[in-house]
Amino acid sequence: MKTKTLFLALLIGITTAAGADDVQRITIRVSPALSFAPANLIVRTTIASDPENRAVEVVAESAEFYRSSEIQLEGERAPRTSVFEFRSLPPGRYEVRATLRGSRGRERASVRQQVNVIASAAGS
């Protein structure tokens, strides 16, 4: 039984490591993951240094609301961490996406995170 468990753990580790390059080009951390409206979201992107990096776009989108922001990057000279702030978001379930773009606007990597903004009881 221990051998099967060890084998499964190794297999999961190998599978995870195989796709690690794509996942590690860009990561995001969105806070808070749950908040009351109107919400202020902080999105922190971490981008691996690469001469091909040209832009990063961050989008906060729900069924009824859309907001985005994009900054230009200077390849390997760009800062590894960028912070985006989305203010006064109305209630909704949001998908927050960060897309790393290379030369000619080509997508190099993309990551997503879900957050919930709950209607405030104060407005009732």
In a domain, 60, yes or no: yes
Instruction: Mention every residue, 6+ apart, whose C-beta is less than 8 A from residue 43.
Output: 28, 29, 30, 58, 60, 83, 84, 85, 86, 96, 98
Domain that holds residue 63: 22-123
Residues 88-118 have pLDDT tens digits of: 999 999 999 999 999 889 999 999 999 999 9
In a domain, 12, yes or no: no
In a domain, 17, yes or no: no
In a domain, 57, yes or no: yes
In a domain, 97, yes or no: yes
In a domain, 1, yes or no: no
In a domain, 14, yes or no: no
Indicate the average pLDDT of the chain: 86
In whole angstroms, give the CA distance from residue 25 to residue 22: 6
> How many domains, the chain?
1
In a domain, 92, yes or no: yes
Residues 66-85 have pLDDT tens digits of: 999 999 999 999 999 999 99
Q: What is the mean pLDDT of residues 7-20?
A: 41
Domain of 119, CATH number, reads 2.60.40.730
**What percent of the chain clears pLDDT 70, i.e. is strictly above it?**
79
Question: What per-residue confidence (pLDDT) applies to 2?
Answer: 54
Stated pTM of the model:
0.77
Q: How confident is the model at residue 24 (pLDDT cuts 50, 70, 90)?
A: confident
